[in-house]
Structure 1
């Protein structure tokens, strides 16, 4: 951290308590920025207006294109159905297929799905007779001079399309041209604008063809395709119904007029709810889309609702808000200079108080350290005298004291040792904040060997440890590991056991795990045992002050690390300590 210079900070505070020339520059610049922002916001609104209109226009064109692709899928399904049938399609089979497909509901805007067969002029009578077996009233109409016939043979739903049964596509140029192109190209094609015979209103429509062939014959050339053609699956459309099924009629913001060549096939302006605004001349847009053999020209214009949804209130808010902010800046500048003057005076008072409190805290800390030292040493002297006195009494009177008195003396010696241990732990706990924070490389195996020698670990306990180097404060880690190993030994339930010490590293942490095979600690006591003076057994059953885990947890906190306990209270205990890797 950079050194803090209070004199420099004070000079800066004095300087900021005066209105400088830079403040007037800021005020002037804020007014210039306000009026610039207002001008550019007006321009941005107009551009955003244009982008929004174009996005809506593209969405409409995309929706129409996607809907036409969906209808193509319906035709492809019909062709696949016919080609996979083991028998020739009949009116009943076609009706069943359409009912299961639920064509009108599955493909909104479609008027039906039918089959048109290709018939040579010489085969006309035989074809009619074959169809009449199942539809006695069938006939091909109207008459024409072409050498081939393309009669509508099946169509569903029959209830709304019965008038089209038998209609020959060759009688009219738009129908005939599109069906021949579909045959020759083996691709889906739509007709130019027509009026459907099954629809009573005079409204523009079109037919959508997809051819199917005799797959046993080659189809590589136009002549081969003409020779192998069987017919087409087709769908009739009323343009108004198609657009109604494609575009939402609620809150439409853009009108569209669609042309096939120069013929209007759909005019969104015919709906009075979406009347074009007189302000829309600058937002007109035209797009030409190749639609299955035809060029459809889309002309887009915004509706009154679209124009009404755009306002310049945003730019006005910027203007008036900017002016308000400019005056607010003026107010803030003068308020800050005044506040800085007051802050300077307050800072002087607070600094003086902090200096006094710092001196008092330093004095209290010294007193506490002195108290801990005196308490630990002065209390130990009479404690040692009591322990020695008990030893003398036990030795001198061992033959005359009753058994109860011997037990009492033994209990007194145990509690004297526990009091001595408690004083040592308290002294160690009080000194934790003064531990060295200097990190050094330490060999974990050597450290554990030194701790084992210091603790005089019984031969009945075995300790295994990873031979790894760790980077840590030597004094701190020695305290932690000594207390944890001591706890594993003191609290073992059979007086003999095994302690495994494992070390792991990752990019950020060093982790050591101390694992014993003792009685374990039940999960509900994991937090309790980390507090001072807490043990899970009566004091007379275990030699300890209850400070071990508290000391270890405090040291790990000082290292910026953590101490966690994993145990089910049955199969041993795992204590995990980890701290940030530093070097």
Structure 2
């Protein structure tokens, strides 16, 4: 059999091996699965981040609503106590004009939005009622106390400013109705500001829910003329009842209060206020244009308000939902699926190309048996197919870089966000796993690209083997220093070879000898060369973990690994590249090894190489 026929058969054998490797391998499916896993992880994390952001935003708005309600009522309370101080400054007597002057200085419409007015209620006994009416009618002849009732108290509204809009309240005896009276007595007995339960104000034509806000004042202590505030705080309950003089009060329609406190246009939540099962205020109904029937968030806050318990229910509105929308998770998911689809398409295309090459190889074998001329033509076609296949493998590996860079960028972004905040350790471990998997994917693709480059543009040159080994050891100096490896070599000749490819061959064999070493013994590596007539016989031996002889026939296959990734990391391409380099030179490669007894790799380089 001629050398040409031997070369043809060798090419057919190699092509058959490549075709098996070219089928969809578990590595391909692992890459796609890890890519999909990373996409889902980033998508879920992005959704959780946005959910957390929206939830925090809702709680900020809810807290702002509660705080502003309390602050607004505190401001109104201050106005009431200033009215009490004004009454005391007039020796506990005050005319209508004096009260008007005081109320005017408050600038109610500007500084106290939502308040309907501010007035004075005096405590009038049955015996003092005639003189009280006579005194009031000197200024207002038509003044009347109303309505008539059977309670033992007389608490008529004497003054209220502004009168416009509150005329129906002038003379109203707040003791006629239970909610008004109970809050008044509670203010009297406690000496503290109080609000009534839900009522309908007489000045409200629409009968909109409201309440009254009371601040009590007392007759001065005749013995030492102590101020009313000190007196009210220090008096006993019986003394408060005996010296109770009246109250400064303010009426509120809750709708107006909310407009003044929190204008709906400036927030993105709806508010409902309930007092003892009575709805004081409600925005959360279908008639409201911002109502969201399925709110993203809803929460009820019980708050103590001057003797009453208000349950404030806050729901996210349509505006909140609109601003909460974020397309980032969707883009991440769709983008990741698109990248996965590209990866799968590339792998399928590569597999189909290999199947075509296999079919062509079979046709060539059949032609070889039938006629040599047809065999020669098929050989030429096979060589062309191999070139195209190598070009495709290189292009496919190159094109994989972009989606892998995208995956790595997402992983690094996710890792940096997790490093800046405390999060679930399981999430951190998952992200670390994804990051490591992406790095392994990158190395696999780089290895595949490196494998496909071998022999693309070979150039035979005179190679000083000694200098080449020095260059290889320089490249591996970090690994050699780290494990304190000892490397010995015999005299190495100057040969004719493909310099770049030979560098790859020695670098992979030496780096493997360093990697697969015993944990307690520094690597010891020996490099030799013998002159065997028509070829050079090189060897690289080590004292490492060795290889099971049953694995010899698999060891040079691409992506073939004998150890777990976490024990000995790598791509499984190194020895496949070694074999490809040796075959490019027209030589052979084999090994001698046993488990735990080291390994010795042999390869030949012909002295005359046919390009």
TM-score relative to the length of structure 2: 0.48
- In 2, the alpha carbon distance for the partners of 1:194 and 1:228 equals 28
Q: CA deviation at 1:39?
A: 2.0
Cα gap change, 1:251 to 1:271, in 2 (>3 Å): farther
Match among 256, 259, 268 for residue 274 of structure 2: 259
- In 2, the alpha carbon distance for the partners of 1:337 and 1:131 equals 103
Cα gap change, 1:84 to 1:25, in 2 (>3 Å): farther
Look up the SS of the partner of 2:270 in the other structure: strand
- In 2, the alpha carbon distance for the partners of 1:146 and 1:164 equals 19
Look up the SS of the partner of 2:212 in the other structure: strand
Q: Deviations over 1:205-255 (max 9, x none)?
A: 100000011232565211100111111000000011001111122164211
- In 1, the alpha carbon distance for the partners of 2:185 and 2:262 equals 31
Contact 2:284 2:315 in 1 (8 A): no
Q: CA deviation at 1:177?
A: 0.4
Number of aligned residue pairs: 322
Matched, 1:162 2:162: no
Unaligned runs of 5+ in 2: 1-26, 223-230, 341-399, 407-441, 454-611
Give matches, 1:174-185, under 5 Å.
174-185=179-190
Matched, 1:206 2:206: no
Give the corresponding residue for 1:318.
332
Give the corresponding residue for 1:237.
252
Cα gap change, 1:158 to 1:208, in 2 (>3 Å): same
Q: Deviations over 1:143-198 (max 9, x none)?
A: 11122200000100011111111100110000000000000000000001111112
Look up the SS of the partner of 1:120 in the other structure: coil
Matched, 1:307 2:312: no
Contact 1:207 1:235 in 2 (8 A): yes
Give the corresponding residue for 1:126.
131
Contact 2:118 2:161 in 1 (8 A): yes
Cα gap change, 1:272 to 1:209, in 2 (>3 Å): same
Contact 1:152 1:168 in 2 (8 A): yes
Give the corresponding residue for 2:152.
147
- In 2, the alpha carbon distance for the partners of 1:89 and 1:115 equals 9
Give the corresponding residue for 2:57.
52
Cα gap change, 1:283 to 1:222, in 2 (>3 Å): same
Contact 1:213 1:230 in 2 (8 A): yes
Matched, 1:74 2:79: yes
Q: CA deviation at 1:65?
A: 1.3
Unaligned runs of 5+ in 1: 1-21, 342-583
- In 2, the alpha carbon distance for the partners of 1:79 and 1:237 equals 19
- In 1, the alpha carbon distance for the partners of 2:33 and 2:199 equals 69
Contact 2:114 2:261 in 1 (8 A): yes
Give the corresponding residue for 1:38.
43
Deviates more, 1:262-271 or 1:240-249: 262-271
Cα gap change, 1:324 to 1:85, in 2 (>3 Å): farther
Match among 233, 247, 251 for residue 262 of structure 2: 247
Contact 1:152 1:165 in 2 (8 A): yes
Deviates more, 1:70-79 or 1:50-59: 50-59
Give matches, 1:100-499, under 5 Å.
100-216=105-221, 219=232, 220-250=235-265, 252-269=267-284, 272-280=287-295, 283-322=297-336, 328-330=402-404
Q: CA deviation at 1:44?
A: 3.5
Matched, 1:90 2:105: no
- In 1, the alpha carbon distance for the partners of 2:447 and 2:67 equals 57
Cα gap change, 1:338 to 1:263, in 2 (>3 Å): same
- In 2, the alpha carbon distance for the partners of 1:268 and 1:330 equals 51
Look up the SS of the partner of 1:309 in the other structure: helix
Q: CA deviation at 1:317?
A: 2.2
Q: CA deviation at 1:302?
A: 1.9
Cα gap change, 1:129 to 1:335, in 2 (>3 Å): same
- In 2, the alpha carbon distance for the partners of 1:208 and 1:251 equals 27
Contact 1:279 1:307 in 2 (8 A): no
Q: CA deviation at 1:73?
A: 1.0
- In 1, the alpha carbon distance for the partners of 2:284 and 2:303 equals 20
Cα gap change, 1:271 to 1:250, in 2 (>3 Å): farther
Contact 1:27 1:329 in 2 (8 A): no
Look up the SS of the partner of 1:159 in the other structure: coil
Cα gap change, 1:336 to 1:157, in 2 (>3 Å): farther
Cα gap change, 1:154 to 1:251, in 2 (>3 Å): closer
Q: CA deviation at 1:262?
A: 0.4
Contact 1:274 1:303 in 2 (8 A): no
- In 1, the alpha carbon distance for the partners of 2:80 and 2:302 equals 24
Look up the SS of the partner of 1:250 in the other structure: helix
Look up the SS of the partner of 2:147 in the other structure: coil
- In 2, the alpha carbon distance for the partners of 1:33 and 1:314 equals 15
Look up the SS of the partner of 2:252 in the other structure: strand
TM-score relative to the length of structure 1: 0.51
* Structure showing greater Rg: 1
Contact 2:61 2:267 in 1 (8 A): no
Q: Deviations over 1:513-561 (max 9, x none)?
A: xxxxxxxxxxxxxxxxxxxxxxxxxxxxxxxxxxxxxxxxxxxxxxxxx
Q: CA deviation at 1:81?
A: 1.4
